[in-house]
Amino acid sequence: MSASLPIRPRRLRSSEAIRRMVAESRLGPENLILPLFVQESGPDFDVPSMPGVKRGNIDSLLASCEDSVQAGLPAVALFPCLDPALKDAAGSAAFDEDGLIVRAIKAVKREFPNLLVAADVALDPFTDHGHDGLLTADGRDVANDESVEALCRLARIEAAAGADLVAPSDMMDGRVAAIRSALDSAGLQKTLILAYSAKFASAYYGPFREAVGSSQPGGRISKKTYQLNPANAREAVREALLDEAEGADLVMVKPAGPYLDVIRSVKEAVRIPVAAYQVSGEYAQIHAAARNGWLDLAAARDESLLAIRRAGADVILSYFALDFARASSLLTR
């Protein structure tokens, strides 16, 4: 009976060489961006909820960038952590043209001119209330249009400092078109916009807020008023299409792992590259399970990244990026 089977799919799985040859999805360092946290001074801070992730000064940041270059990563994404004394309701420190993020961008581009730098465009690292934009006068809401004006100013400053990509992560309406216009008017037409188009109001962001020193907003205003409802996939596609029409060069889905269906839907809808952010909570839960002996860390890391790539992400922001790239280079030697 067995001899009568003309179709045997297992033949395509019979050896490592064949499996690699017919793999439908491929993932390499070139698909990854490493998020990095930078602080003004002091010793490196090891983020307790994110094993292997630290926040350091600019010298420490440059060392991480050198590691990234040597491992073959094409890009890093920078996130500043400010002294709480510099924060206020207006996020004034965001507009300091000699501020931490500006000096960090300049330092990286000076030392590693071929390493792409993505700069976050949002006010939550700079505001004492922890929201991504400015509050209305009565403090009952995040003011959309006033926030967009502030974000345009921040994006111009980051692009002028040398950022190759500016990445609005705020989810304000109309901010991509406004930022594109602001950049072009300032002679910064070459700067790409990596839009956080489908950023969900997710429970997976907690470790990031610890790393960047951004408070979780309380009181009357919820980030759910501007970040997406985790229940809504069609709305995510709508947001991505709007950002594409407004001039985004890449659109992004965040988080990644719990939203693979959204990544696929966005990939099928837009005609520009799609990014996905494997966020801090995704990274932390894999590490936690591995520490308890429940998962093989490297295998789970690689499978989680491959799943995001398979879903349709052209680019993945991940705290695993450096470890994955190093492991990949060892395999190809």
Provide the total of helices (H) and of strands (E) in the chain, helices listed first.
11, 10
**DSSP assigned state of 250:** E
Catalytic residue, candidates 199, 223, 224, 267: 199
Helix axes 280-291 and 297-311, enclosed angle (nearest 10)? 150
Query: Does the annotation count 106 as an active-site position?
Result: no
Of the candidates 89, 162, 152, the residue with the CA atom closest to the CA atom of residue 121: 152
What is the H or E stretch that residue 251 is in? strand 250-254
As a whole number of angstroms, the distance between CA 271 and CA 244 comes to: 8
Catalytic residue, candidates 87, 109, 223, 254: 254
As a whole number of angstroms, the distance between CA 193 and CA 170 comes to: 13
CB 79 within 8 A of CB 47: no
Is the backbone peptide bond immediately before 35 cis, with ω within 30 degrees of 0?
Answer: no
What is the H or E stretch that residue 15 is in? none
Query: Does the annotation count 254 as an active-site position?
Result: yes
Of the candidates 297, 295, 296, 316, the residue with the CA atom closest to the CA atom of residue 306: 316
Residue 213 neighbours by CB under 8 Å, 6+ apart: 81, 82, 84, 125
Catalytic annotation, residues: 199, 254
